[in-house]
């Protein structure tokens, strides 16, 4: 797996909160709240992700094509996984995985 999940140097993650290092606002801060990953302000079902401990998927409109299967070693799309779209996560927090793969923040 040549791809790896890594926290961008422009972001910080406390485990329950992911936000830009500078200029963070409630509208750019992501929270892990229970099993949901959502914006601190301005969240809706369409921009909220659900984490069940195994799969990361949109709260609204989830399909096999936009669902990620995650374990302690790797993250891959539920449908169509290849070596090119499978990522080494090396135990990264789910917020970092979501930030890079699902939300595409960096």
Grouped pLDDT means (10 residues each) for the chain, 106 residues: 89 97 98 97 97 98 97 96 96 97 96
pLDDT at 45: 96
Predicted TM-score (pTM) of the model is: 0.94
pLDDT of residue 85: 96
Task: Give the closest residue to 89 by CA, choosing from 102, 104, 72.
Answer: 72
| pLDDT per position as a tens digit, 76-93 | 999 999 999 999 999 999
The pLDDT, as a whole number, for residue 59 is: 98
Sign of CA dihedral 2, 15, 19, 78: positive
């Amino acid at each position: 797996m040549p791809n790896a999940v890594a926290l961008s140097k422009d972001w910080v993650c406390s485990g329950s909160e992911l936000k830009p290092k500078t200029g963070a606002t409630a509208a750019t801060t992501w929270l892990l709240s229970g099993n949901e990953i959502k914006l601190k302000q301005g969240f809706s079902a369409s921009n909220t992700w659900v984490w069940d401990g195994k799969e990361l998927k949109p709260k609204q409109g989830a399909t096999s094509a936009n669902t990620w299967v995650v374990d302690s070693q790797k993250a891959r799309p539920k449908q169509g996984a290849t070596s090119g779209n499978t990522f080494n996560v090396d135990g990264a927090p789910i917020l970092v995985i979501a930030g890079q793969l699902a939300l595409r923040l960096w």
